[in-house]
Amino acid sequence: MTWASWCCWTKWRDSGESERKLVSNLPYEGLKPKNQPNRRYAGNAIKTTKYSFWSFIPMNLFEQFHRWANLYFVGIAALNFVPAVNAFQPQVALIPICIILSLTAIKDAWEDFRRYQSDRQLNGRTCLIYSRSQRSFVERRWKDVRVGDFVRVLSNEIIPADILLLHTSDPNGVCHMETANLDGETNLKQRKVVPGFSSTNSQFEPLNFSSIVICEKPNDNLNHFNGFLEEDRRKTGFGIENLLLRGCTVRNTADASGIVVYAGHETKSMLNNNRLRYKRSKLEKKMNTEVLFCVLLLICMCLIVAVGHAIWLQTFSSVPMYFIPNSDGTFTSAVLSGVFMFLTMIILLQVMIPISLYLSIELVKIGQVFFITQDVDLYDEETDTRVQCRALNITEDLGQIQYIFSDKTGTLTENKMVFRRCTIMGTEFPHEENAMRLAFLAGEMDTDEEVIYQQNRRPPLFSLEEAQDGPEGANAHLPGHSSLHRSRVTTGAPSSRAFSSPLETEVVPDHTLVQLMEQEEAKPYLDFFLAMAICNTVVVSTETARRQRANERRNSSISWSPLECLEVLFGRGTCFQRLSMSLKNITHKRGSLSEPIHMDATDSPIYDVPTFSGSMEGPNEGNNSPSNCRAATGRVQTGSSSVAPEEVCYEAQSPDEAALVHAAKAYGFTLLERTPDHVTVRLPSGKVLEFKVLDVLTFDSIRRRMSIIVRHPRSKEIIMYTKGADAGIMERLQNTFEDRRRVASQSRDIAIKTQTDLDMYAKDGLRTLCFAKKVVSEQAYMAWQVKRQEAMSSISRKEELLMDTADDMENNLTLLGATGIEDRLQENVPETIQALREAGIQVWVLTGDKLETAVNIAYSCKLLDQNDLVFTFNMENKGVCKTMLNGILQELLRNGSLEREASIGLVIDGRTLSLLLDDDLQMQFVQLCTHCRSVLCCRATPLQKSRVVTLLRRRLKVMTLAIGDGANDVNMIQAADVGVGISGQEGMQAVMASDFAISRFKHLKKLLLVHGHWCYTRLANMIIYFFYKNVAYVNLLFWYQFFCGFSGTAMIDYWFMIFFNLIFTSSPPIMFGIMDREVSAYMLLQLPELYKRGQHAGGYRRSTFWIAILDAFYQSLVCFFVPYWTYAGSDIDIFTLGIPMNTVSLFTIILHLAIEIKSWTVVHWVIMVGSVIVYFVVSLVFSALCVSCNPPSDPYWLVQEQVADPMFYLVCILTTVVALLPRYTLHALRGTLVPSNHLKARQKDQLPPHHRDRWLREYRSLKELCASFPSMSSSTVPQDTTQSPSTPTAQLSSRTGV
C-alpha cells in the first residue's frame, strides 16, 4: 500500500467517527488480534515506499504512461507491428521508448529503495513497552508499538508514537520536548502530565490504569489536540500540552511514560509528512503548446505524403511489376494506400516529437540545482547552511518573477529582539546607556573612532582567565589577540540555542529607573518587571541539562569590549546604589569609549547577594559555555537560608519573550524556575518569591495577548498579569477611553501618556508590547474556573469556549506600562530591495506589525522613499474605503504625469485590507496596485497574506514569489508560484513548505538575478534547440519522399536514425542547458535591468520558436539537396546517399549549437568534439560489423567507402557552410547593428577590470541622474541614441530608453 493510498484509506475509515475511544491493551495481552479492543487503529510500522518487489514494473509503467508523450511513442511502436503500415523492423521501433522508460524506471527504483532503507531503519529502532507478563517495561521495536500500549521514553530518546503523558520523573509532572525534527525549532516545548497523574509518591503502575481515553480522530494540526479521560463518569480534560509527538526528542527529563493514542501513519508528524508538491513551471506549460504545434506539423507533413502517394499511384495506367499484391491476389486501392501511407509516415517521422526532451529537461534541472546549491555566495557561515532546492522542476521560474511578497519580521529583519526602552506608569525611560552598548556591538562606530580606540587600548582590568571557563581563556593574552577589541563577527556568532546572542541577552539598566525602584513607592515598577518575568512561556533549564546541537560551533578567540567589562563589574555589585553610582561614572566621567576605567581591586569583592547578575556577566560566560547559558550565580539570601548557586538557561518560543525575560533579569527580577504549578522569581533584594500558577491563557492571533493567573505568595491575592499588542490591551482597560467620568484622572493620564510613548516607539521602528494586571476576587475566580473546566473538557467547541472564558477574564485591566523592542534589519536588505526593483520586480511587504512600526522599517529598507507619494488606507468603513479608492484611481487616470513624476507607495492596514479583498472592491484594488511601486500591508493575518498573493497572481497573470520565515507565512508561500523559506529563528515550518530555502534575505538577489536568469535562459534556449534539432533531422526523410514516390522509404539506416537522437546529439544540448552562461554573475548583479527579459518571456517567445522551425526547414533543404545534386546521375545506392546527408546534418546541428553557446569551457569542447568522434567511431564499427542487419539492403562497409572519397569531405564542408550561413549572418548583423543589452554587457565584461568598473560607475551615475529628473529622461533620449557605442549612455538603459 502506497503512502497516498494509506492516507486515503485512513480518511475513509475514520470519516464515520467524530472521536476516538481507546483503552489499555494490558488486560488483553496475549489474545489474538481479532480480540484486541484497539485493533481498528493503525500500527506503528510505517511504509513510505511506492512499490513492492512484485508491483514495481506494473505500477511504474502505469505512472509513466500518465505522461502523454510516453503513450504516444508506445502507440507508434505498436503501430509499427502492423504489416500494412510498418516503416521498419518492429523490434527496432521499440528501442527508443524502451530506453527512455528503462532510465526513468531505474531512477524511480533507486529513489524508492532509499525510502525502503529509511523505513526499515526507522521501524527497527528500539523503545520500552510495558509488558503485563513481565510487569516491567521491556525493549521492543518501534513497529511493535500499538495504540493502547504504555511506552516509556528516556532522556535524549526520540518519541516513537503520539503518547498521552501520564508520568514523568520530574516532581512537578513536567517533560521537556525538543521539536527540531518536526518543525525545526530548537527551543524546548513544555509538556505536562494529565491532571491527576502527577503524583510522585508512588511509582507509576500501568496495570492500575482503568480509564477510557476519548480524543479527537487523527489530524495534521500540530498545535491542536482535545480529549478527556473518563472513569466512573468523571471526566478529566487534556490538550496539546499533554501530548508527546512522534519524532520529537525528550530533553531535561530522565524518563516520561504514557499511553499511545496515535501510531504510525496516524501520528501528527506522519500526517504532516507531505511529499514535495509537484509544480509545473511556466516554461513547461509553454513547451507543451509547442509540442502540440509539432504534432500539427507532423500531421500536415504526413497528409502531404499520403496525398502525394495516392496521386502517384493514380499516374500508372497499369500496375507495375514491382508492386506486391495482397494474399488474395488483389491490389490495394490508391485511396486506401494513401491512408496506410499516412500511418507509415507517422511512424517514420515520429522523431518530430522529441522523445528525449522530457528526460533531458529533468537532467538539466538536476544540474542547475547542483550548481545553485554549490554557490558559496549563498552559503551562510554563521548558521552553516546553504541554499536548498526542494522543488526540482521550477528552477527556470526564478528567472521570470514579477512580484515578490515578503514578510517583515525574521525575513527583512534579524528576528533578534533587542530591548531598547520602556514606559512605566506614564514615565518613559530611554535606556541611553543600553543604546550606546547596542550601537557598539552592532559596529556602528565610525572608522576614526575605532582607530583611536585600538591605539589607546590598555591592559584589562583583571585577568580574563578568572572569568573564563575552559582552555579558550588562555588565548586571550596571546600575541595577536586583543583583550578589549570585540570583533564584529563574534557579535553575531551562532548559538546552540535560539535567541541567546549577547546582543539579545545583555541589557544595561536605565539609571533613572534604578533610582526610582529604590524608593518605597516603587510597587508599580515592581509589578511591571514581575509581569515581564512571569507572563511568558519561557522554559528554565539548568547547566546540568546540556543539549548537543548539530550546528553548534564555538569561537576559539575571545575578546571583550569595555562595556562588557563594565557589565562584569556591575554584576559584582551589591545593590541598586552601586549600580546607579557606576552608571553615573560612565555617563559623566568617561569622555569616549576609548577611556579606560580605573578601579581599585577592593571594588570588586564577591558578595552574597548578586544584584542584577545574570545579564551582566562577560561574553564567554554565556556565549561560549557548552550550553550557552546565561548564569544567575552567587548565593541568594532568602531570610536566613541560602540557595546554592545554579546556572539557568532560558528556552523561549519567541524572541520577544526572550528579550523581555533578559531585560527583567537585568533589573534583578530573575526567573529561576517554571513548572505547571508555580513560577519562581528572585527579586533585586535577593529574596525569592514562588507564585502559584492557577491558569495560563495562552496567546493567539485573535486576542493578540496572553495572561497568567497566579496567587501572590505574600498577600495571597489572585493576580492576573497580561501582556499583548497595544490594540489587544488598551481596549481591555477600565474603559479608559470610553467613559472618562468613571475613571480616575490618574489612570486616564497614564493610558494617554503610554499611548503617546507607544506611537513614538512605533515611529522609531520598535515592536511594542503592553503590560497590565488585574486583581481577581476569590468568588469571581471560582465562578470563572467552573466555566473554564467545562471548556477544557469539551471536544467539539473547545477553542471557541476557551476563547469566551479568556474574554470574560481579560477585562477591566490596570495598565502597568509598555516596552519597545528593536528588530534590526538584516545585512544588505536595502541594497537587495533596490536591486530587485531595478530588475523590474514589484516588492510587497505583508506583516502583522502595527502600521507605524512597519512604515518606519519600510523607509529603512528603502521599500518606501522620502520622495514617494504614499497613500495610506486606514479605515473601517467600506463606503469611505471605496470612495477613496475611486478618487485616487480617477486622479491617476486624469493626471498621467503624476505617476511619471513621483513613485507611488501604498500603505494598507489589516482592517482595510479585509475590505479591499471583498469581491466588489478587488478590481479597483488590483488596478491601483498596478500604479504603485511599493505596497505595504500591516496587521495582516496569515489568511489575508495568502489571499493577496492569490488575487494578484490570478487577476494580473503574473509570476509571484513569496518569502517568509515563520509558520504564519506558510499559506502565503504555498499560494505563490515560487515559495522561498528563510531558515531563521522561528523554526523550519516555512522552509518545509517552500520550494527554495535560503538563510538570508540578501541571498534572494543572487538567487533571482543570477541563477534565475541563467536557469531560465539556458532552459529556454535548450528547448528551442531541441525542437530545431528534431525538425531539421526529420525533414531529411520528408524531402526524400518527393523522389521515391512518397513510398515511406528512408535513405538513412534505421539504426543510425535511432542513434542520432539517443547517442550522437543527446549530450550537447544537456551540457548547453546546464553550463551555458550568457552574462557573468558580476555583470548580472551590477546591471539588474538584464533580468527583465525573463519577465516578458524574452528568451522563449512564440516568434523565436517559429524562427527556429523555419531555420530547421531551410537547413534540412540544404543538407538534403546539396548531397543529392552532388551525387545526381551516379550509381550509388540510397544508403550511400544517406551517409553524407546524415553526416552533414550532424555537423550542421552541432555547429548550430556552437553559434548559440555564449561561453566556452573545456567541458563544451570535450562534449562537442566528442559527439563527432563518437559518431564516426560508431558508424565505422557498425558499417564493418553489420553484414545482414537490414536485409536485403545492408550498409556493410559503406561508411568506409565514403570516408575514403574526397568528395565526401567537400560535400560536408560546403553543405555545412551554406546551411549555417544565414544564421551566422543574422547573429553578426544583429550584434553589430542592434546589439541587445545582454550582448553589450557581455562585451563590457570582456574589458579590463578597471575599464569595466569605470563604465559601470558612469552608467549608474547617469541612471541616477535620469531617475532624479524623470522629465529629462525622455528629452535626452534622441541625443543619447546618437552617441558613440563606447560611451556608457549608449550601452544600457532600461529607464531612459538609451
Q: Are 678 and 692 in contact (CB under 8 A)?
A: yes
CA–CA separation, 1003 vs 997, rounded Å?
10
Phi-psi region of 232 (alpha: psi -120 to 50; beta: other; left: phi over 0): left
CA–CA separation, 1140 vs 1122, rounded Å?
10
Beta strands of 895-952 (E only): which ranges?
904-908, 934-937
* Strand ranges of the sheet holding 136-141, from the earlier edge strand across to the other edge: 136-141, 126-131, 150-154, 255-262, 162-168, 243-244
Q: Are 258 and 166 in contact (CB under 8 A)?
A: yes
Q: Are 214 and 280 in contact (CB under 8 A)?
A: no
What are the backbone dihedrals phi and psi of residue 903, each rounded to the nearest 5 degrees, phi first?
-75, 145
Grid cell in block for residue 571: 554584576
CA–CA separation, 1124 vs 1137, rounded Å?
7
CA–CA separation, 236 vs 166, rounded Å?
12
What are the backbone dihedrals phi and psi of residue 768, each rounded to the nearest 5 degrees, phi first?
-115, 145
CA–CA separation, 184 vs 178, rounded Å?
9
- H or E element in which residue 1286 lies: none
CA–CA separation, 700 vs 204, rounded Å?
35
CA–CA separation, 1277 vs 905, rounded Å?
27
Strand partners, 19: 216
CA–CA separation, 266 vs 212, rounded Å?
19
Strand partners, 825: 413
Residue 608 is a catalytic residue: no
Dihedral (CA of 1147, 1151, 1153, 1159) sign: positive
Burial of 469 (0-12, 13-18, 19+ CB in 10 A): exposed
1138: Cβ contacts below 8 Å, ≥ 6 apart: 1050, 1051, 1052, 1053, 1056
Beta strands of 45-187 (E only): which ranges?
126-131, 136-141, 150-154, 162-168, 174-178
Active-site entry in 112, 162, 183, 407: 407
Written in H, E and C, the secondary structure of 363-431 is HHHHHHHHHHHCCHHHCECCCCECCEECCCCCHHHHHCCCEEEECCCCCCEEEEEEEEEEEECCEEECC
- H or E element in which residue 996 lies: strand 996-998
CA–CA separation, 46 vs 275, rounded Å?
15
Phi-psi region of 464 (alpha: psi -120 to 50; beta: other; left: phi over 0): alpha
Q: Helix (H, G, I), strand (E, B), or coil: what is residue 956?
A: helix
CA–CA separation, 1116 vs 986, rounded Å?
59
1292: Cβ contacts below 8 Å, ≥ 6 apart: 1087, 1089, 1237, 1240, 1241, 1259, 1298
CA–CA separation, 730 vs 89, rounded Å?
85
Q: What is the largest CA-CA distance in the chain?
A: 128
Across 930-957, b (16+ Cβ under 10 Å) vs e yields ebbbbbbbbbbbbebbbbbbbbbbeebe
Q: Are 713 and 691 in contact (CB under 8 A)?
A: yes
Residues forming the active site:
407
